[in-house]
Structure 1
């Protein structure tokens, strides 16, 4: 009897908890819904009061105008290339460095790691001016290279992946070495497949960070065809007589790649967070 009462009580608690979770999920998704529906309205319908929570008429003219009046395809291509190349480069460099700090033994390893990680406390904005001078001297202004390589020089990926490498027992590496495996073979064929969740988490976090790196991309990409999507869409906001639906369409275009990236990598991202929580 007591078990049945306890079971019914737990079921009621679960129902209430699910209702609360669903409520906050809908609340968090509402801005995305409003962005999408507003991009399909006329500008006057976006700002009317009381608002139309569901569009009475749909139009794709805002999207057509964005791509016809501006090089939005070029901006999208630039953003994808910058974010993808930067993220892949960060994963390669960070995984190699994290493996070295976690599994290899060399003089001054801990001191170097502390100095390396200490750079995370320095905001990027502090280095904007000297960094731009370096890029300018290398002739990388108004080029994708100028947006890519400075973002590869970050210690965050090393810090994140080292935690995953530390969870792998050293006996696995030692057994592989006894079988005659080289260091690179151990790293690439044995260790890297185990830390896939960490790689997935780093991919999402870094891709999103680079995609939204508005300030640096604004400084480096000054010409129309060298702008990224975030910078290009921001130029749509500077009109004296703004077309809000037009701007909503541009913002939607900028948001779609982020949504797709998270959908494709959410499995690894969730696993990475779970492993990190278990480790903590």
Structure 2
């Protein structure tokens, strides 16, 4: 028994070392990005490169925020990502609740259509979607970057399992007490599926933050660009300052890194809680 425990401890130690090495390898590009933010272009191109800057240079960040509307790009990204995440969670919760708890004609067929939409890439219908936005005169507006991303088959499918796992007796008891359908949904069901709502919000927030193609088509003026599009425009402009581009990429990556570290426990719990029916 002692030998078995010793072998298990040795195996765990080796596994932890391997995982640590892999984690460090994945973090190396991020470390390189952050350190190059504080180097001049000459130091970035220097061979062999320095691991850390000899002199911490803040000129890249100063040029980014003074010469470019970087702060406005950050605000735009937060507005688009936050409202996309919030409203898409609400719409997905309403749809998932209807499919899981209500009964209507054609329910199964309609649910299969919603699930099948997950397999259709957005690029296949981006042309007609763009035409609709143009006809609504939404180009270069927040609603153009938010509204087309609200209804998602993935969000409906994800929350469906949460609502389906709730015993029907809870809903029936509330109906007997005189609660209407909206009250049951808002005051009874939503608090129960809160982990799933949180996980879906984080997923949608990150997806909207990293969106490139659709926001590139919608944002025409420099002030309406999101951070992702703004940083990409720095790479397209005729600008020899590679440090400025690196600083922009670092600023774009930091919010997502912070969100992951702050909410990783909630995300892991929410992403798996509805997968098992108790």
Q: Give the TM-score taking structure 2 as reference length.
A: 0.95
1:171-228 deviations in whole A, cap 9, x for unaligned? 2212222222222222122221221221121111111111111111111111111111
Secondary structure of the residue aligned to 2:152 is coil
Q: How does 1:21-170 map to 2 (within 5 A)?
A: 21-170=19-168
> Shift in Å at residue 241 of structure 1?
4.9
1:98-146 deviations in whole A, cap 9, x for unaligned? 0010011111111111112222222111112211111111110011111
> Shift in Å at residue 76 of structure 1?
1.0
Contact 1:217–1:228 under 8 Å retained in 2 = yes
1:246 aligned residue: 244
Q: How does 1:169-188 map to 2 (within 5 A)?
A: 169-188=167-186
> Shift in Å at residue 74 of structure 1?
1.0
Secondary structure of the residue aligned to 2:11 is helix
> Shift in Å at residue 60 of structure 1?
1.5
| Total equivalences in the alignment | 278
Contact 1:39–1:62 under 8 Å retained in 2 = yes
Structure 2 residue corresponding to 1:12, chosen from 10, 13, 28:
10
Secondary structure of the residue aligned to 2:17 is helix
> Shift in Å at residue 263 of structure 1?
2.9
> Shift in Å at residue 20 of structure 1?
1.0
> Shift in Å at residue 267 of structure 1?
2.2
Structure 2 residue corresponding to 1:257, chosen from 244, 255, 258:
255
Question: Gaps spanning 5+ residues in structure 2: where?
Answer: none
Q: Give the TM-score taking structure 1 as reference length.
A: 0.94
Structure 1 residue ranges, 4+ long, deviating more than 3 angstroms after superposition: 276-279
Contact 1:201–1:272 under 8 Å retained in 2 = yes
Structure 2 residue corresponding to 1:218, chosen from 203, 216, 233:
216
Contact 1:66–1:246 under 8 Å retained in 2 = yes
Range with greater deviation from structure 2 (121-130 or 101-110): 121-130
Structure 1 residue corresponding to 2:269, chosen from 254, 268, 271:
271
Secondary structure of the residue aligned to 2:64 is helix
Contact 1:198–1:272 under 8 Å retained in 2 = yes
Contact 1:200–1:265 under 8 Å retained in 2 = no
1:66-98 deviations in whole A, cap 9, x for unaligned? 011111111111111011111111011100110
| Closer, same or farther: CA 277–110 of 1 in aligned 2, 3 Å | closer
d(CA) in 1 for partners of 2:208, 2:151: 12
> Shift in Å at residue 276 of structure 1?
4.9
Question: Gaps spanning 5+ residues in structure 1: where?
Answer: none
d(CA) in 2 for partners of 1:201, 1:29: 24
| Closer, same or farther: CA 205–118 of 1 in aligned 2, 3 Å | same
Contact 1:147–1:217 under 8 Å retained in 2 = yes
